[in-house]
Structure 1
């Protein structure tokens, strides 16, 4: 049974991923049962297929599974944030709902956290062997190079969906649409350290991608400018109670 206060919450945002739901849930439970007390929080972003119904049926088989549903489509960042807000674990692992992230890598991120310092609040997956199309890999390299130059976040791959972070630190970050692409820079802005951990990446086996290179680029330019502005306007100071 799911612990009342799990140590880890696995948050998975999904939109029209009905054929990927059950295989990924089964992989998560296989990877984590007996390793850590966990829950799985799926957030259905108002899918137009029967993703929500598939998830609801799975709840009878998987006691760790919880399902949230957006009453209107709101995007991946909002789905992640709502999942984190509903989560009961002090630490959050995120996975993309398309099955391209390997749930077995969550243990690798946990091991990195357990060997890390208390100032490190984000362990970000780094896809060292991307299994996307050539155009997507090229666009990602281009975007990462520009982002790194502007934000100086020392992160080779911010687009990887598998991450491990402290819930409290995440909820203290400024929220905006597409913020999930800039978590290392935002965590560093808040005064925390971040670490990139090499992880597996897999081919999509069902469904279709929800993004293309053009819409990512157009939104990304605007977001980059906004995050760069946030960094220049940040101010941190130590606080002590008198």
Structure 2
């Protein structure tokens, strides 16, 4: 249907939120600046999430889904979304709707000039502990990557597909998407977006995996940076 923009929605046990997601994204599609479709990526949910997204997709041709056999983690779900999207632009939003799909239009204003546009939750509505742990984790990551990003964990992003599909994903790499675009000599920018409290479902990240995980992943990123293959073909035999 000549879609230009795919919104990936990774989810794990989010049955309480999915009807809200359907409503919010349906409204966004009507005002989107690019012709938009939605791709649910069910990360092995063990609640009724898969039943609900099957129902949503059966009623709406702009919604599709893929489902994992078992839980593989957020990075795997995002990678699968990149692999299965067939549009020049790919977006990402969490199923908890702590960010607003309408803010994709704000990010879309920058995507012509940049290769990744990420939201920045300047006024976060999370707990003090969660905000402080994210602040520390972002500081650690930024000291390793020098990507200039204050909030790589913001679940609202747009990426040009040719860059997204070249990212060699590993577990935890969702925290390093801007840095991976920079490794490809791409351009990144962060833009303030709205943020809301979670009103349903349970957060999948806690203090330990918000701090220890990013610190360990930084060393994996450094290894990848040293060994990253990056080339440009300037001529070829026709």
Q: TM-score range by the shorter chain?
A: over 0.9
State which drifts further: 221-230 or 126-135. 221-230
Report deviation, 1:232.
Answer: 3.1
What's the offset of the Cα at 1:216?
2.5
The partner residue of 1:169 within 163, 170, 177 is: 163
Look up the match of 1:66. 64
Give TM-score, length-normalised by structure 2.
0.94
Matched, 1:188 2:182: yes
Cα distance, 1:226 vs structure 2: 1.2
Give the alignment of 1:88-103 within 5 angstroms. Answer: 88-103=86-101
TM-fit CA distance, 1:184: 0.6
**RMSD across aligned positions (CA):** 1.4
Deviation string 1:128-149 (CA, Å, 9 cap, x unpaired) is 0111110010001111111111
Post-superposition shift, 1:179?
A: 1.0
**1:241 to 1:69, Cα distance in 2 relative to 1, 3 A:** same
Q: Is the 8 A contact 1:11 1:93 kept in 2?
A: yes
Match of 2:26 among 20, 25, 29: 29
List alignment gaps of at least 5 residues for structure 1.
Answer: none
What is the aligned partner in structure 2 of residue 79 from structure 1? 77
Between 55-64 and 20-29, report the one with greater CA deviation. 55-64
User: Secondary structure in 1 aligned to 2:41?
Assistant: strand
Equivalent-residue separation in structure 2 for 1:236 and 1:27 (angstroms): 39
Contiguous gaps of at least 5 residues in structure 2: none
1:67-114 deviation line (CA, Å, top 9, x unaligned): 111011111111111122111211001001111111011111111224
TM-score, length basis structure 1: 0.93
Question: Runs of 4+ in structure 1 displaced over 4 angstroms?
Answer: none
Secondary structure class of the residue paired with 1:218: helix
Match of 1:217 in 2: 211
Partner Cα distance (2:229, 2:66) in 1: 35
> Is 1:153 the counterpart of 2:151 in the alignment?
no
> Which SS does the other structure have where 1:177 is aligned?
coil
The within-5 A match list for 1:112-131 is 112-114=110-112, 116=113, 120-131=114-125
Matched, 1:16 2:9: no
Residues in 1 aligned to 2:28 and 2:133: alpha-carbon distance in whole angstroms: 31
Larger mean CA deviation between 66-75 and 229-238 belongs to 229-238
Q: Quick check: 1:38–1:89 contact (8 Å CA) kept in 2?
A: no
The match for 2:130 is 136
| C-alpha separation in 1, matches of 2:71 and 2:141 | 27
Q: Which residue of 2 aligns with 1:48?
A: 46
Tell me how far apart the structure 1 counterparts of residues 88 and 196 of structure 2 sit (CA, whole Å).
28
Partners in 2 of 1:186 and 1:73 — Cα distance?
24
Asked whether the equivalents of residues 93 and 156 of structure 2 are also in contact (C-alpha less than 8 Å), the reply is: yes
Question: Shift of residue 237 of structure 1?
Answer: 4.4
* Change over 3 Å in CA distance of 1:133–1:171 after alignment to 2: same
- SS in structure 1 of the partner of residue 203 of structure 2: coil
